Structure 1
Amino acid sequence: MNYVFYDFETTGRDSNWDQIIQVGAILTNTSFQEIDRFEARCRLLSDIIPYPKAILVNQSSVKDLTQTNLSHLALIELMLNKFKSWGTATYIGYNSISFDEEFLRKTLFKNLYNPYFTINNGNKRSDLLNILRANYIYYPNTIKIPKNEKGKLSFKLDQIAPFNGIKNFNAHDALGDAIATIKLAKIINLKSPQLWEASISTSNKENANKLIENNKLFCITESYFGKIMPFVVSFICYHPIYKWAQCFDLKHDPEDYINLSENSLEHFMSKSPKIIRSLRSNKSPIIMESKFIPQINEYKHISNEELHRRADIINSNVEFKLTLEKLLRKQAEDKEEYLSQEDINFEETIYNSFSNNYEKVIMEEFHIANWEDKLMIANKFKEERNYYFAEKVIFEENPSVLPKEIISKINRRIAKKIFSHNDEKWNTIPKAYKEIDDLRVHYEEENDSTTLNNLNNLNNLIEEIEKKYQNV
């Protein structure tokens, strides 16, 4: 199966409220030889206020944001058609599971396309950042990891790539970052082939679950605030609601916990260090065989025989599994009840519920219809959020076909959103002005006239948006 290495540049970090502005993707074979590539930019959506710092980092100009030929929908459709033309593939980015993948899913969702493209129809996904973190534990001498000004390991792509001799790429450009990701992947595949194979083997949920279920004990890695934590674990059960694998950390002796009451077990589950590790098999976890345990210092004081004894206790204790499942269900239901009381916007509902087949048929009709017919098709939606997204798409792409009252309604909604003085989840005009002012102070001290000029241009852009919506 071929690989697609990809990266997005965005207006900010929140996949619910920011937007993709540049796509860079490269199709390769399993030897990392390029077969095809795709790169494109798009204009800002009407209701998006970009974060100035994000725009400085990805080096987008105001002209890029406002005068690029492609609309947001046109970019997404071009990208999606290109991806489909490449056939089934494993999609790999750098921090993509947490960042780029979430932007991809939510962008497709808000444009009435299947958001789960990278895990449907035979496609798979992986994340080179997670692979590099695991590599640091199991093959520490194969990739050099730089340190930041605080002396902590830095896995930032723009630092780790040049630190390993990768110099000819444009950092924070979508295509440039995709190129750097490929070159790092080649090094991993060459110097740590077992790790690379392990990462590819868990690039879909079904294979990951098989490994979890079929190995009495195995190694996983997690990352907390830049610190990489390896664990030796044994599978207990799947979460009764979320279906994540629940694994016992064999650093602990299970005999201390298997006979506890429900309340006592819940108490210890909330303590740190955790006795139960959640492993999300749908997020391409790196799972290494038990032969790698000697690489993990935290478990060297426990003999191999003792680790197997602990795993046997976990595997054979059905009562402990049932008690854990009961607790997990209760905690999930309590959480869902709490979340149901929060105000939630349609943009944040991708994981709340799935559209049924009827809604999916209407989505297809909506996309193939002429612009003049799209609103009529949109009225067939029974889910309010799908109609809401359909209206927004028409407004962005061809507002002339909308009745004046709908245009006025959307304009008022945009104005209310972008002029808010509250601490919103999205960026607003007041927040953007403040950020520009703060950045100016910094770059004036640096005597950086180029960046100051870019900030002035961004300020002018925000002023133009402000004028456009101040009287709606």
Structure 2
Amino acid sequence: MHTDQPTFFFFDYETWGVSPAKDRPCQFAGVRTDADLNVIGEPLVIYCRPPADYLPNPEAALVTGITPQKAMNEGLSEPEFITAIHNEMSRPNTCTLGYNSVRFDDEVTRYTCYRNFIEPYEWSYKNGNSRWDLLDVMRACHALRPEGVNWPENDEGNTSFRLEHLSVANGIEHSNAHDAMADVYATIEMAKKVKQSQPKLFDFFYKHRGKQKLNALVDIVNMTPLVHVSGMLSTEHQKTALIAPIGWTPIKALITIDLTQDITPLIELSADEIKDRLYTKRSDLEEGQLPIPVKLVHLNKCPILAPLGVLTADAIERTQIDKEECLRKQQLLQQHPQIREKLDAVFAENREFPTSPNIEEQLYNGFFSPSDKAQMRIIRDAKPEVLGSLDIQVTDPRIAPLLFNYRARNFFHTLTDQEQKRWLLHCRDKFEQELPNYMLNLENLGAQHQGDEHKMKILKAIYHYVEQLVS
């Protein structure tokens, strides 16, 4: 295959928990396709051994069916695991994509790279590379051009965008949901379905997945309305809104106003009042208090944005968006320039989020400098035996503690006696803190699934694994 041809790399992780920062991957599956979504090359399916200072969430194992024993027996060490994945994702002209991958799986890749001294971002933008996510494309297809795809409903009577529901409704084999490879093939088949049924929509959102192309759609001066589809929006309008872009935050998020909502608070309230109300949960608003109709759109997270023209008469009927009323509100915004000033003031200071004391959750505390990146490459390439005595000059305070954890988890035999004691003490403290609640949860799950032989087998396996781990 000619390496310059653009390809898709479809992928999925199964993990031991729901937090990409705190939890660990247990399985990865990925396969490459050509631009027409035909599979090329062999699939990559690998397991990852759980680290010695980590308690796998039993709920996750019940979903995936993967026991810690299976991952230990068949898995790679985390550095080997992420290296194999990174090699695929960083091949030139690769568009890496999954289902809900921007919010979850891409974060797993980044955090796992970070723990293992691989640059966490470059795989997704260097050498003609990019990333994409099919979940919001499915939402957009449903809201704007639903023909040709079957749309299943969930118990609440709303459309279900769960991959296993969509694939069953569309006759796609998905008997093994939450097996990473089954999920990958189901994602490819759903992508094909949209590409065949609605080729223009598919191609438009594919071309507009990166921030340069998305930026070209944005007209802040005139606040030209855009169609936006997002899981954060209400089902009332099929997860769709007409938004008016009005400014940028200091970290380059697009500030937009949701024209499907009441914009009165933006006119009547001061900047401070807007800020207070914006960060108050809707459920905590007093009776009669309107929510602030503002949404931040991150152009580097493959958001769905399109010109007003995609709202055909059919799409308007489906989404129940009153286009005329939205345009009237846009004119009202133009008559109140102070709204822009107020929102600039609201977002002028970045909100301070508390920093986790755990070094491994501090990926977003800052970028590594070029010289630190060079030192990290030396760490990656070094033989395990010399890691303790490497003469490296780093400025970032995260690197030294990350290096100790990296050595202790993956090359315990290379630690000095003193270092081994330090690591075992860390494990003991961590388990003493976490075990009481963990075992209680395990017991509750056991009581809950007493009649289910398969689930009880998994829970018992976890119990035995943890018993051995902490002994």
Residues 211 and 299, structure 2, Cα contact 8 Å, conserved in 1: yes
Distance 1:350 1:377 in 2: 23
* TM-score, length of structure 2 as denominator length: 0.87
Residues 266 and 292, structure 2, Cα contact 8 Å, conserved in 1: no
RMSD over aligned Cα atoms: 2.6
Partner residue of 2:374? 361
Partner residue of 1:380? 393
Residues 16 and 57, structure 2, Cα contact 8 Å, conserved in 1: yes
- Using the TM superposition, give the Cα deviation of residue 180 of structure 1 relative to its aligned residue in structure 2, in angstroms: 0.5
Go from structure 1 to structure 2 and tell me whether the alpha carbon gap of 1:460 and 1:360 turns closer, same or farther (over 3 Å shift).
Answer: same
Distance 1:386 1:266 in 2: 36
Go from structure 1 to structure 2 and tell me whether the alpha carbon gap of 1:131 and 1:31 turns closer, same or farther (over 3 Å shift).
Answer: same
Residues 259 and 320, structure 1, Cα contact 8 Å, conserved in 2: no
Go from structure 1 to structure 2 and tell me whether the alpha carbon gap of 1:223 and 1:403 turns closer, same or farther (over 3 Å shift).
Answer: same
1:322 partnered with 2:341: yes
SS of match in other structure, 1:351: helix
Distance 2:233 2:60 in 1: 21
1:463 partnered with 2:458: no
1:235 partnered with 2:245: yes
Distance 2:79 2:216 in 1: 38
- Using the TM superposition, give the Cα deviation of residue 226 of structure 1 relative to its aligned residue in structure 2, in angstroms: 8.2
SS of match in other structure, 2:409: helix
Partner residue of 1:95? 100
Counting aligned pairs with the same residue, the percent is 23
- Using the TM superposition, give the Cα deviation of residue 417 of structure 1 relative to its aligned residue in structure 2, in angstroms: 1.3
Go from structure 1 to structure 2 and tell me whether the alpha carbon gap of 1:301 and 1:14 turns closer, same or farther (over 3 Å shift).
Answer: closer
- Using the TM superposition, give the Cα deviation of residue 118 of structure 1 relative to its aligned residue in structure 2, in angstroms: 4.1
Q: Which one of 450, 455, 462 corresponds to residue 451 of structure 1?
A: 455
- Using the TM superposition, give the Cα deviation of residue 324 of structure 1 relative to its aligned residue in structure 2, in angstroms: 1.8
- Using the TM superposition, give the Cα deviation of residue 262 of structure 1 relative to its aligned residue in structure 2, in angstroms: 3.6
1:115 partnered with 2:120: yes
Go from structure 1 to structure 2 and tell me whether the alpha carbon gap of 1:257 and 1:59 turns closer, same or farther (over 3 Å shift).
Answer: closer
Q: Which one of 268, 289, 306 corresponds to residue 288 of structure 1?
A: 306
- Using the TM superposition, give the Cα deviation of residue 320 of structure 1 relative to its aligned residue in structure 2, in angstroms: 3.6
Q: Which one of 196, 201, 214 corresponds to residue 195 of structure 1?
A: 201
SS of match in other structure, 2:305: coil
- Using the TM superposition, give the Cα deviation of residue 229 of structure 1 relative to its aligned residue in structure 2, in angstroms: 2.6
Partner residue of 1:8? 13
Q: Which one of 114, 118, 133 corresponds to residue 127 of structure 1?
A: 133
What letter matches 2:112 in structure 1? T
Distance 1:372 1:412 in 2: 22
Partner residue of 1:423? none
SS of match in other structure, 1:287: strand
Go from structure 1 to structure 2 and tell me whether the alpha carbon gap of 1:173 and 1:226 turns closer, same or farther (over 3 Å shift).
Answer: farther
Residues 362 and 377, structure 1, Cα contact 8 Å, conserved in 2: no
Distance 2:428 2:393 in 1: 28
Q: Which one of 20, 31, 34 corresponds to residue 25 of structure 2?
A: 20
Distance 1:263 1:72 in 2: 46
Partner residue of 2:431? 418
Residues 250 and 307, structure 1, Cα contact 8 Å, conserved in 2: yes
Partner residue of 1:217? 225
What letter matches 1:218 in structure 2? L
SS of match in other structure, 1:210: helix
Aligned length: 448
SS of match in other structure, 2:436: helix
- Using the TM superposition, give the Cα deviation of residue 264 of structure 1 relative to its aligned residue in structure 2, in angstroms: 5.5
Which stretch shifts more, 177-186 or 377-386?
377-386
Which stretch shifts more, 141-150 or 278-287?
141-150
Which stretch shifts more, 124-133 or 206-215?
206-215
* TM-score, length of structure 1 as denominator length: 0.87
Which stretch shifts more, 310-319 or 174-183?
310-319
Residues 260 and 322, structure 2, Cα contact 8 Å, conserved in 1: no
SS of match in other structure, 1:47: coil
Partner residue of 1:425? none
Go from structure 1 to structure 2 and tell me whether the alpha carbon gap of 1:202 and 1:314 turns closer, same or farther (over 3 Å shift).
Answer: farther
Residues 17 and 60, structure 2, Cα contact 8 Å, conserved in 1: yes
Deviations 1:256-307 (A, max 9, x none): 845865446546756644322211111101112212334245665442xx65
Q: Which one of 409, 430, 434 corresponds to residue 396 of structure 1?
A: 409
Partner residue of 1:279? 297
Partner residue of 2:284? none
Listed as ranges, the gaps of 5+ residues in structure 2 are 1-5, 280-288
Partner residue of 1:424? none
